[in-house]
Amino acid sequence: MDRKWRFFLALFPVWSVFLGLALSGAMLLFLDLNPLDVYGRMVAFAFRDMYNFADIFAKAAPLILTGLAFGFAFRAFLFNIGAQGQFYIGCLATVSCALYLDALPGFILLPLCFAASALAGGAWGALIGYAKARFNANEFLISLMSTYVAVAIMNYLIRGPLIESKGEYPQTDVIAPHAIIPKLIPHTRLHWGFLLALLVAALAYFVLWKTTLGFQIRAVGMNRESARYAGIREKRVFVIVFLISGAFAGLAGFMEVNGVQHMLVQGFNPAIGAEGIGIAILGNAHPVGIVFAAILFGALKVGGNMVVQTSPVPSSIIGIMEGFVMLSVILSFYLRRRIVTALEKKKLRRD
Amino acid sequence: MFIENILTNTVMMSTPLMIGALAEVLVERTGVMNIAIEGTFLMGAWAGFVGAYITGSLTVGLLSAVLAGVLTGALYGYITVYLKQHQIVTGTAINILAPGLALYLYRVFFGIPLLPLQVELLPTIPIPFLSDLPVVGRAFFNQNILTYAAFALIAAGFWVLFKTRTGLVIRSAGANPEAVDAAGINVERVRFGTVIFACAMDGLAGAFYSIGFLGLFTENIIGGRGWIAFAICFLGNWNPIGVLVGSLVFGLADALSVVIRTSGVTMVPNEFVIAIPYILTIVATIARRRFNVPAYLGIPYVKEGR
């Protein structure tokens, strides 16, 4: 395949993002809004000052993790669509730690919150993997339903034992200052958690491509039969993959609670799991791709929110943009495949 | 009285589940998982409401819900059946898009109303004499048109699926697509057609919530009920009879949760009562060991040598 084509094809996800944004822009015409104007303002807002620009990465940090949660399991051809629930369980674990153990100094409390969220999310996820391994249950269904159970647990705890001391709204008290992840850039919302998320992405890459476990995971993902014949215990892989995947989603809770919100509000961030799926697909289930896709979604959120707050553009446009971007990325996979096949056929004919 | 109430609510709440789960059975029998079911329910609820509100006619509402289902199905079917893209991924994209689209278009049509707009509910149609039967009369013979349609569809679905040539083709498309192809039938067309038909049914099921139950449209009007229908298809073993039983069980869970919530019994926290259907699904998925999964479920059909 010649160079020009390869470059063109490598940029396919970028074209498809533009196509998705163009389609969403067309929707704005229904409200007599000028899409170019709206997008122009979105970009202007996102890069207006350090606060907004840094906010893109603050928003991206948990999205990287929920993206990894889906992407990591996808490599084993398992479908963890319950990242939302694992995220909430992680939130509950970290906020409980931060509220009840606030006598501990920050350098112990923060790692503790980190570990608690990862462990809780991981355990919640591992249950799905266990159901799959032990009972051959459909992991898609179970992970889907587990989210609704996690929401019930969260609502119950926030209305009951964890409710704020005023007892007025379904939310927890604000966590102690030393339980908050330190800022990366002062006077913005960007905290060290973003770098931590990058580190976790690097770890996911390392595990998947540089370790025996990763080889087993990918082998199970590519062909379960041959993996079994090669002596890989697939059931063990199911549990481990869901444990790790759930831990990623749980960590996203640590980022949101200890990094940005500093409390837990009932039903906050209700789409972070679904957005993770979109991000994983856009990033081709590769950690590097996921990081870039998460930053793009972060920018859409920051720019989108600002435009929504300052003009008559409704907030539902953000969901439309995410949906259309996902759909056009899927279409681009199809087109890329067609082009690659056509090029190879041509090459074969020439030889 | 109490039993009669519970029974009536059970049948009512199981209506959309029956329609949606039966649709899922038909489409999964051809080998396509309709992951977009939740989004299609929502589009149906939206279109049903908008159609009914603007024209003042519930019939138009129902027709718009079907149309919305057909359009959503065409999008999902084209990408998964003809372009052979991954079904779970495509379905998720549509499920993210649907709420955004529905809310946005609601805004386009109605602006920001001070109070939620309302429509009249589908009227209940009492069947003469039968509706006066004790206990079961009100539950089975004094419901709205969608409930009667649901029972009729279950019977028709069973008959078509197992007693007609069409049913044979549908089942074979998921069990042995090569054989269908060899018989000179276009597998893609069978699958695409069934996706559209199923999504039309999903649209109706969604409309039940907006114009048959609540009389308004909100963002979380479906709240995972599409997924429950999806699960019932699995748990009912891809069989319309299983769908009937499963939907009634989940309808009962829904009805009980309403009763428990309004009765002031505080033994079990509300949150967990609301979660009953989902917990039930998990338990049933784990407990049920033998499934009759269509052999080619989720696998796009690619002709050899293409």
Residue by residue, DSSP assigns B236-289 as TTT-HHHHHHHHHHHHHHHHHHHHHHHHT--SS-HHHHHTHHHHHHHHHHHH--
Is B299 a member of any domain? no
Residues of B in contact with A138 (CB under 8 A): 234, 285
Indicate the average pLDDT of chain A.
91
Confidence of residue B137 (pLDDT cuts 50, 70, 90): confident
Q: Is B265 on the interface with A (CB under 8 A)?
A: no
d(CA B101, CA B105): 6
Chain A contact set for B230 (CB, 8 A): 141
Collapsed DSSP state (helix, strand, coil) of residue B126: strand
Q: In the prediction, which pLDDT does A340 show?
A: 86
Contacts of B286 in chain A (CB under 8 A): 131, 135, 137, 142
Confirm whether B73 is domain-assigned: yes
Highest mean pLDDT among A51-55, A134-138, A153-157, B190-194: B190-194
Let me know if residue B272 belongs to a domain: yes
Q: B275-304: per-residue pLDDT in tens?
A: 888 888 898 888 876 677 788 888 888 876
Q: Identify which of A144, A321, A323 has the shortest CB distance to residue B93.
A: A323
Contact assignment for B103 to A314 by CB distance below 8 Å: yes
* Rounded distance between C-alpha atoms, residue B72 and residue B51, angstroms: 16
**DSSP readout, B24-85?**
HHHHHHTT---TTHHHHHHHHHHHHHHHHHHHS-HHHHHHHHHHHHHHHHHHHHIIIIIS--
Considering only the beta carbons, identify the residue of A138, A314, A330 that sits closest to B107: A314
Q: Are A330 and B90 in contact (CB under 8 A)?
A: yes
CA distances from B36 to A168, A283, B3, B71, B200 (A): 38, 22, 36, 12, 12
pLDDT at B276: 82
Closest CA to A90 of A66, A107, A64, A72: A66
Of all residues in chain B, the one with the smallest CA distance to A139 is B285
Cα(A135)–Cα(B124) distance, rounded to whole angstroms?
A: 44
Confidence of residue B264 (pLDDT cuts 50, 70, 90): low
Q: Which of A140, A159, A334 sits opposite B88 (nearest CB)?
A: A140
DSSP letters spanning A223-240: -HHHHHHTT--HHHHHHH
Q: Using a CB-CB distance cutoff of 8 angstroms, which residues of chain A are in contact with residue B269?
A: 156, 159-160
Q: List CB contacts (< 8 A) between A316 and chain B.
A: 99-101, 103-104, 107
- Look at residue B183 and tell me if it is in a domain: yes
Contact B28, B191 (CB under 8 A): no
Interface touch B227/A316, C-beta < 8 Å? no
Euclidean distance between CA atoms B183 and B17, whole angstroms = 35
Closest residue, chain A, to B276 (C-alpha)? A149
Q: How confident is the model at residue A344 (pLDDT cuts 50, 70, 90)?
A: confident
| Residue A213 in this model has a pLDDT that exceeds 80 | yes
- Interchain proximity A141–B97, CB inside 8 Å: no
Q: What is the mean pLDDT of residues A58-66?
A: 95
CA-angle at A273, arms to B204 and A175, nearest 5°: 130
Please answer yes or no on whether A141 and B281 come within 8 Å at the CB atom.
yes
**Nearest to residue B106, comparing CAs of B189, B216, B244, B12?**
B216
pLDDT at B245: 94
Which residues of B fall within a CB distance of 8 Å from A224?
Answer: none
Contact B275 A278 (CB under 8 A): no
DSSP A52-99: HHHHHHHHHHHHHHHHHHHHHHHHTT-----HHHHHHHHHHHHHHHHH
Amino acid identity, position B126: P
Q: Which tens digit of pLDDT belongs to each residue from A132-147?
A: 999 888 888 899 999 9
Residue A273: list chain B partners with CB under 8 A: none
What's the CA dihedral at A239, A240, A241, A245 to 10 degrees?
100
What's the CATH number of domain A16-25+33-350, 2.60.40, 1.25.40, 1.10.3470, 3.40.190?
A: 1.10.3470
How far apart are the CA of A308 and the nearest CA of chain B, in angstroms?
Answer: 12
User: Closest to B93 (Cβ–Cβ): which among A136, A327, A334?
Assistant: A327
Q: What is the share, in percent, of chain B residues with pLDDT greater than 90?
A: 59
User: B279–A145: do the CB atoms touch at under 8 Å?
Assistant: yes
* Residue range A198-204: mean pLDDT, rounded: 96
CB burial of residue A174 (10 Å; 0-12, 13-18, 19+): middle
3-state secondary structure of B196: helix
Could you tell me the CA-to-CA distances from B121 to B18, B118, B219, B253 in Å, in that order?
20, 9, 19, 23
Distance from CA of B86 to the nearest CA of A (A): 8
Average pLDDT over residues B107-131: 85
Task: Copy the structure tokens of residue B53.
Answer: 């509100």
Q: Is B272 on the interface with A (CB under 8 A)?
A: yes
Query: Which residue range(s) make up the domain with B195?
Result: 2-112+144-287
All residues of chain A having their beta carbon less than 8 Å from the beta carbon of residue B227 are 144-145
Residue B125: per-residue pLDDT: 84
Q: Do B100 and A320 touch (CB under 8 A)?
A: yes
Q: Where are the domains of chain A?
A: 16-25+33-350
| Chain A residue at shortest CA distance from B112 | A314
In a domain, B230, yes or no: yes
Between A136, A316, A333, which is nearest B104 by CB? A316
Q: With respect to residue B194, please indicate whether it lies within any of the assigned structural domains.
A: yes
pLDDT for B55-89, tens place per residue? 999 999 999 999 999 999 999 999 999 999 989 88
> What's the full length of chain A, in residues?
351
Q: Under an 8 A CB cutoff, do A152 and B271 touch?
A: yes
Q: Is B100 on the interface with A (CB under 8 A)?
A: yes
Cβ-Cβ pairs closer than 8 A, A with B, add up to 133
- pLDDT bucket at A324, cuts 50 / 70 / 90: very high
Domain assignment present for B135: no
- CA of B286, closest CA in chain A: separation in Å? 5
pLDDT of res. A157: 92
Quote the minimal CA–CA distance from B134 to chain A in Å. 37
Is pLDDT above 50 for A217? yes
pLDDT tens column, B16-51: 999 999 999 999 999 999 999 999 999 999 999 999
- Contact yes or no for B96 and A274 at CB 8 A: yes
Dist. CA A46–CA A34, nearest whole Å? 18
Determine the Cα–Cα distance for residues B198 and B204; give it in Å rounded to an integer.
Answer: 10
The set of residues, in sequence order, having a beta carbon less than 8 Å from that of B288 and lying 6+ positions away, is B235
Whether B86 has its CB under 8 Å from any CB of chain A: the answer is yes
Cβ B233 vs Cβ A141: under 8 Å: no
B106 Cβ neighbours under 8 A, 6+ residues apart:
B46, B50, B217
Backbone phi, psi, residue B79, to 5°: -70, -40
Residue A319, token pair as written in the block: 């969901």
Domain total in chain B: 1
B139 lies within 8 A of chain A by CB: no
Residue contact A277–B89, C-beta within 8 A: yes
- pLDDT tier for residue A55 given thresholds of 50, 70 and 90: very high
> What confidence score (pLDDT) does residue A350 get?
83
Looking at the complex, does the CB of residue B108 fall below 8 Å from at least one CB of chain A? Answer: yes
CATH number, domain with residue B84:
1.10.3470
Distance CA B2, CA B171 (A): 42
pLDDT in tens, B213-261: 899 998 889 988 999 999 899 888 899 999 999 999 989 888 887 777 7
Cα separation, B211 vs B58, in Å, equals: 8
pLDDT at B306: 45
At residue B289, the pLDDT reads 66
pLDDT at position A249 over 90: yes
> CA Rg, chain A, in Å?
21
B297 in reach of chain A (CB within 8 A): no
Q: Would the pLDDT of A1 be above 60?
A: no
